[in-house]
Amino acid sequence: MIDKEKFDDWYNEIVETAELCDKRYPIKGMNIWKPYGWKIMQNIDALIRYEMERTGHNEVYFPLLIPESYFKKEEEHIRGFSAEVYWVTHAGKNELEERLLLRPTSETALYSIFSLWIRSHADLPLKTFQIVNTFRYETKMTKAFIRVREIHFFEAHTCHADYEDAERQIKEDLEIAERFFKKLCLPFIVSKRPDWDKFAGAYYSIGIDVLMPSMKTLQVGSIHQYKQNFSKPFEIKYEGKDGKHYYCHQTTYGMSERVLGAIVGIHGDEKGIKLPSSIAPIKVVIIPIIFKGWEEKIMEECRKIKEEIEKLGLSCHIDDRDKTPGNKFYDWELKGVPLRVEIGPKDIENKVISIATRDGIKKKIPVNEIEKLKEELEEYDKRIYAEAEKFLKENIHVLKEVESREGILELPWCGKEECGIKMEEELDMKSLGTPLPEKECNEKCAICKEKATTWLRLAKTY
Ligand code: ZN
């Protein structure tokens, strides 16, 4: 893992040197996805789609533009987003009669249409998701994948007959998060956001946060219980079995390209990024170690081994560029390929391949036991997960008093907003909220010294 002091410079550089993105486009906060970075993001999206399908969500794709009248239907939502909205006011030479906005998120677009789609209790639950670009006019300093103005965004939206069913959905979302982030080797914490920091229009919000080497937390996912806060202004009603009409209960689950930012940051080292095998565009790279007189024989063996590896379902690439093996090692380590295979004359003679995992384990594997590469990748994933988990656990500090520490702090809290705000001010940190699952607290509030009912988590955040 990268040292805290070096992290920012390292991160800003690695996203370009590892060929994930190009930051030279002349609009601030709008970067270009390079082929390698985009392939990784698509692999991440594929994992999301897999989870969505498994849980009965259907993919939709709504228009980018939202009419102002739709956007204005939910008051808190407008208040929360109005400073970040991009407006379209003209089309060709004409000024538009009604302004349109670029979606900063899609509640108001989807819900106006959900009110047409949902008629009866038989239409529920409605479980949809989309993976689209959203636009937010960020005024803080932008950072590739972490704070951008055009965001590659995943959003699931569901409608339910009652509050209990919506709560079941939130439980399912948390299970999805558990499976999804495990595949990405990213340990995380889940917190119920404090009321003063919930999503605009939500009844309550849950944040999924990871800890970056900079000691700041990064929100990589959020789940919102809307109750009927949107269904009432958007008139999303259904006819119950009793023939009466009821407003739906709604939830959302959102994630974004920040997930890639977290992978880059948390699994990086001096050599480059380390990709979890689940999303690496190339899982195994073969480097021919050419000796004079062996050229043909070695390339032939490389091609044979590549075929064997692909039969295992692992994407594999032979690097036959006119460069030294050392230079090739450097390039693929920078780009985070999980497994490197070297094939030279000695390996052919001994009927083995030499392997090196991206985290530095080297060994020889007999050619006739090539299926062992799968185990090697599994072990590699486990090790990078364990390293990240150790880092997270070591940097969560359960305290009794307000005390300046790095990482994530948990302080006994009476639940009063003024005490929470005071903690934020004294520590110069933001509150992440209360731990989920809930954690018992038998201490006194770190501010007012009255009985604490729960813990408040605080951290420096992105
Ligand atoms: Zn208090």
| Residue-wise pLDDT tens digits, 69-127 | 999 988 888 888 889 999 999 999 999 999 999 999 999 999 999 999 999 999 999 99
Look at the alpha carbons of 325, 327, 330, 336 in this order and tell me if their dihedral is positive or negative: negative
Other residues' Cβ atoms within 10 Å of the Cβ of residue 409: 25
Kindly tell me if the per-residue pLDDT of 255 is higher than 90.
yes
| C-alpha 425 – ligand 1 centre gap (Å) | 14
Backbone Cα Rg of the chain: 25
| C-alpha 435 – ligand 1 centre gap (Å) | 17
Domain 7-266, CATH 3.30.70.100 — does that match?
no
How far, in Å, CA of 205 to CA of 192, rounded?
Answer: 6
How far, in Å, CA of 151 to CA of 162, rounded?
Answer: 32
Please give the pLDDT value at position 254.
98
How far, in Å, CA of 81 to CA of 136, rounded?
Answer: 8
How far, in Å, CA of 215 to CA of 89, rounded?
Answer: 42
| C-alpha 416 – ligand 1 centre gap (Å) | 6
Give the CA diameter of the chain: 85
| C-alpha 447 – ligand 1 centre gap (Å) | 5
Kindly tell me if the per-residue pLDDT of 12 is higher than 90.
yes
| Contact call for residues 283 and 277 (beta carbons, < 8 A) | yes
Please give the pLDDT value at position 79.
83
| C-alpha 451 – ligand 1 centre gap (Å) | 8
Tokens of 27: 């609009």
Tokens of 453: 């009912």
Q: Closest by alpha carbon to 452, among 425, 420, 421? A: 420
Please give the pLDDT value at position 74.
84
For the domain made up of 396-461, give the CATH fold: Translation Initiation Factor IF3 (3.30.110)
Average pLDDT over residues 39-66: 98
Average pLDDT, rounded, for the chain: 97
| C-alpha 414 – ligand 1 centre gap (Å) | 4
| C-alpha 80 – ligand 1 centre gap (Å) | 27
* Threshold 0.95, pTM exceeds: yes
Ordered by start, the domain boundaries in the chain are 7-266, 284-376, 396-461
Q: Closest by alpha carbon to 187, among 227, 156, 218, 141? A: 218
| C-alpha 224 – ligand 1 centre gap (Å) | 26
pLDDT in tens, 336-346: 999 999 999 99
| C-alpha 446 – ligand 1 centre gap (Å) | 7
Average pLDDT over residues 161-185: 98
Please give the pLDDT value at position 22.
98
Strands (E), 245-391: 245-247, 249-256, 284-288, 316-318, 339-343, 352-357, 362-366
| C-alpha 51 – ligand 1 centre gap (Å) | 40
Beta-strand relationship, 216-227 and 126-135: unpaired
Please give the pLDDT value at position 45.
98
φ, ψ at 326 (rounded to 5°):
-60, -45
pLDDT in tens, 362-408: 999 999 999 999 999 999 999 999 999 999 999 999 999 999 999 99
Please give the pLDDT value at position 76.
84
Over pLDDT 90: what percentage of the chain?
A: 97
| C-alpha 420 – ligand 1 centre gap (Å) | 7
Kindly tell me if the per-residue pLDDT of 214 is higher than 90.
yes
Q: Is the peptide bond before 104 cis (omega within 30 degrees of 0)?
A: no
Kindly tell me if the per-residue pLDDT of 284 is higher than 90.
yes
Please give the pLDDT value at position 404.
94
Please give the pLDDT value at position 77.
80
φ, ψ at 415 (rounded to 5°):
100, -10
Higher pLDDT, 7 or 72: 7
Domain 284-376, CATH 3.30.70.100 — does that match?
no
Tell me the pLDDT band of 260, cut-offs 50, 70 and 90. very high
How far, in Å, CA of 351 to CA of 258, rounded?
Answer: 44
